[in-house]
Amino acid sequence: MSLRPWRDIVRRKSRQIMVGNVPVGGDAPVTVQTMTNTPTSDAKATIDQIRRCEDAGVDIIRVSCPDVESTAALKQIVRAVRVPIVADIHFHYKRALEAADAGAACLRINPGNIGSADRVQEVINAAKANGCSMRIGVNAGSLERDLLEKYGEPCPEALVESAMDHIKILQDHDFHEFKVAVKASDQFLAVAAYQQLAEMVDCPLHLGITEAGGFVSGTVKSAIGIGSLLWFGIGDTIRVSLSAEPEDEVRVGFEILKALGIRNRGVRVVSCPSCARQGFDVIRTVQKLEERLQHIRTPMSLSVLGCVVNGPGEARETDIGITGGGNGTHMVYLSGVTDHHVQDADMVDHIVKLVEAKAAEIDAAEAAQQIAAE
């Protein structure tokens, strides 16, 4: 039993597949995905956007391949970026063949939607020949007509049946390197569908609340839906779908994982909502710190509280803490212990320097441990 068992999450056992060089499922870390929104045929714009997502920490990137110009550009895109590329294919099986040959690490395709058994076999052969995995992507907004007629509306049973139909096609062709999503914009529907599917299959599950909305509303819906499933132990890779920039989706995805203690990257900020007791402008300070600390990848914690009511208690639990005091003078905590004071004018710059120094210290210690282990 762990020291804090109320934080424990027992993860569903799934088999592991590879998306390029990134493992998904099994005991691999839960990965964070996003999707580009530039025209894929514009290789430069797409590469630039992917690099911004890489800076934000993305593990896997999906690009849409609706036409031959897109798959032609894919080869250049794959060579220019560090993360594996998923080619998003709908209906046109030739785009899947082209994408596999161009170096896509994974094909997002529903085998039941691409035509005859011969076409399905061609796509599977191309995937096997090029080492591609696949993602079956069921969506409540595009369910098959026969399932809508059978169930009357999108429901968990309909999404799961659609997924199982597509899974059977791949398994009948002896293809097992796949993951599955059963997404809906209704988080209740999506959560129920994923829970049902998780009981029926051992493949990795790709989580998402599709068309979740704008940055604020979509983040809330995604945190509830994706977060609930992860808390249940369900999910091997996630994509937060927002009407926002892809790099923002990545940041929200990592924040969901950090909040659950599943995966840590960068600075976890603990901050108060502020009130009349605050000794400094907490809201603006946190905004500045979050912006200036985006480059930190080392997992660590920072508390920013405006007064001494909860400030000292929170600071004891974080790597670095700042608690508001009187007359523009504030207390700085290092490793949970009071250390020194800082003035208003210098506070943000000072905290940034402390965080950067702490990150360097942690990185150096980890590097020394690795050398010693070798």
pLDDT tens per residue across span 123-133: 999 999 999 99
Q: Judge whether 218 and 244 are in contact, CB under 8 Å.
A: yes
Instruction: Give φ, ψ of 126 to 5 degrees.
Output: -65, -40
pLDDT confidence band for 1 (50 / 70 / 90): low
pLDDT in tens, 77-91: 999 999 999 999 988
pLDDT in tens, 126-182: 999 999 999 999 999 989 999 999 999 999 999 999 999 999 999 999 999 999 999
Instruction: Tell me the mean pLDDT in the region 106-125.
Output: 89
Helix (H) or strand (E) holding 50: helix 43-56
Q: Is pLDDT of 280 > 80?
A: yes
- Spell out the domains of the chain, with CATH numbers in brackets: 10-260 (3.20.20.20), 267-373 (3.30.413.10)
Q: What is the pLDDT of residue 110?
A: 83
Q: What is the pLDDT of residue 116?
A: 86
pLDDT confidence band for 373 (50 / 70 / 90): confident
pLDDT, mean over the chain: 95
pLDDT in tens, 346-361: 999 999 999 999 999 9
Residues at the binding site are: 272, 275, 307, 314
pLDDT in tens, 15-70: 999 999 999 999 999 999 999 999 999 999 999 999 999 999 999 999 999 999 99
pLDDT confidence band for 256 (50 / 70 / 90): very high
Percent of the chain with pLDDT over 70: 100
Q: Is pLDDT of 112 > 80?
A: no
Q: What is the DSSP string of 121-187?
A: HHHHHHHHHHT-EEEEEEEGGG--HHHHHHHSS--HHHHHHHHHHHHHHHHHTT---EEEEEE-SSH
Residues at the binding site for [4Fe-4S] cluster are: 272, 275, 307, 314
Q: Is pLDDT of 2 > 80?
A: no
SS percent in the chain: helix, strand, coil, step 5:
45, 20, 35
